[in-house]
Structure 1
Amino acid sequence: MTTPIQWQEQIEHVCTHMGIQQVDLLLDQAGWGHCAVPALKMLTPKVSWFSLFTDTPEQNLLDQTPLLMRLDLTQWRHKAWLEQLVEHATDGRLMVVISSWPFEVLSKALQGFSQLAWGKQTGLLRYYDSRIFPLLMSSILTDQQRAEFMQVASYWGWLDRDNQPQWLQGTGQLHQNNIQVSPFVELNDQQFDRIGCISDAQQLLNDESFDFLGKSQEQRFGLFYSLAVQAGQENHVGDLAKYVQQKLNGTVDPV
């Protein structure tokens, strides 16, 4: 398990390696019980920040909005704020984005990533939740969609469910031209269902009746996710926890 200090040191090391003295953070405030905006407004030197709910019907929900902020790692107050966040913004709330893009351009791109379209419906794609992001990148988004995420950053970083640092290298470069990012992420039925499977697997992970598995949190989640996907492919209807329990026991009834 990585300590908050070790995680912060790794973030700073990657920034130094890339020749970047700033770090962008995505903070998911939903259900957190805290609002970071007042503290951000008090920081000096001034911190650039942006609500992903800007110009949406939820724009006044500043205590629930995902926030993007850019911290200057040469400023001790900014580093102290980073220390507070890595210590207290746990449970998938904090995503690290190491990017050389201008802040306004990056803000609009990351906001666009949060807007999903599925058929005639629209909604919020919570990619900034680090429990969701890895599967989006590895198996749910199309190559073209994934490429848009990759181009905005040199690295994406997060702590996994076992509090181990994970880094995904992007393709973002200095002085990029012809930057194009879609205003929303369009999902097909299968992609939408797979995102639902992430939620189902996370609920199973929190179910104490499966503690007997004795695996790491990430291993257990991976198992639950694969079984949730399988249940969908088999058109299973009913209690998913019971299905998983039967599957683990090798007693799932044929469909």
Structure 2
Amino acid sequence: MNLAWDILRGSTEQRVTNVGILAVGVIGGVILGVWAYREWRRKQRAALTILLVSGALSIFGDAAARPLVGFHTDAVTEYPVVYQMFDRPISFWLPAAFPLYAAMGYVAYLALDDRWTKRRFLTWVGGLVVIEAVAELIMINFGHAFAWTQNQPLEVLGLGMVWPPTWVMSGMITGALIFFFGRHLNPARQLLLLPLTSSPYFGMMVILSWPTIIAVNSPLAGIATTALGLVTLAGMAALLYVLTTFMEPRTLPGTSALPERTAETVTPPAEQQALKRG
């Protein structure tokens, strides 16, 4: 009875938003889970599996991240309580989507592994940022599920515009780390990267957006707050540029953005003998 009341409390808009987030998270997680299984079995790629598990584990860093970024949930979104930490109750509504956020990093992994063009990669990143911004604006202004509080730089309609690119880039950097650290490991050994990747929401957010975190938790206002927000965006843009330098293979003789993973070419014995005689 209490569980039913916790789920049904709040306005119609809030209940629709909560159930919608949960549904998207569960359905998306199942689809991505099937894809991750196929990628592992057919292509020996464990990156998507690692990202999904990392997203699930990052739920336990949620309570620590919220006060740092000024993220406040409505009481309706806090029940039923799954766990409580830092005096903050955490429910399953919003965290249900965390694996999807982490899975965005697979875009960066595929872009690096399959040598996407820079334009294709940037189009994907830009599209994900727009989708995230629109989704947050709907959840804030229609669903009333949460609010951004304190000194939020670059705020538009209640949304600090630093955060949508932060969530997308958190996934991208995590996916890139899996690629660079795990490309010479077999899929099972790539699971050893989980301690590094298991906090894309909390850990990567701090790395990418620490200037904005300073602004949010300080008495600064006006120009100073805006400047720190712009510094945050500039830092993420710089990291995005660095990632793109590994996308397309260079055309200069003897150079390559990344070493190929294909086996070395073996010269037939007859040709080897001919080369020796020459």
Note whether the superposition's TM-score is higher than 0.5.
Answer: no
Structure holding more helix per residue: 2
Structure holding more strand per residue: 1
- TM-score scaled by length of structure 2: 0.29
Bigger relative contact order (CA 8 A; separation at least 6)? 2
- TM-score scaled by length of structure 1: 0.30
